[in-house]
Amino acid sequence: MTANPILLQKKYARIIERFSEKEKLSFDDALSFFYHSTVYRFISKGVSDLHCMSDEYLTKELIAEYEEK
């Protein structure tokens, strides 16, 4: 299933904002990391309907990926 592109962009913005706040990164750094992440790749391709998961869950997944790198 694919999500509405406008709603997906809003979801991305919320995730990036939370990620930036939790990891104390600039918005630009958080944005750059997000768009190069596996989390983004999976959401944008509709893998496992990740876009249906909560913003909090996806932010935690992004933080886990960030901490691995």
Residue 54: its pLDDT value, please?
Answer: 97
Domain ranges of the chain: 5-68
- The CA distance from 30 to 18, in Å, is 9
Distances (CA, A) of 24 to 18, 28, 31, 44, 56: 10, 12, 13, 25, 16
- 4-60 residue pLDDT tens: 889 999 999 999 999 999 999 999 999 999 999 999 999 988 888 899 999 999 999
- 29-41 residue pLDDT tens: 999 999 999 999 9
Of residues 3 and 28, which shows the higher confidence score?
28
Cβ 30 vs Cβ 20: under 8 Å: yes
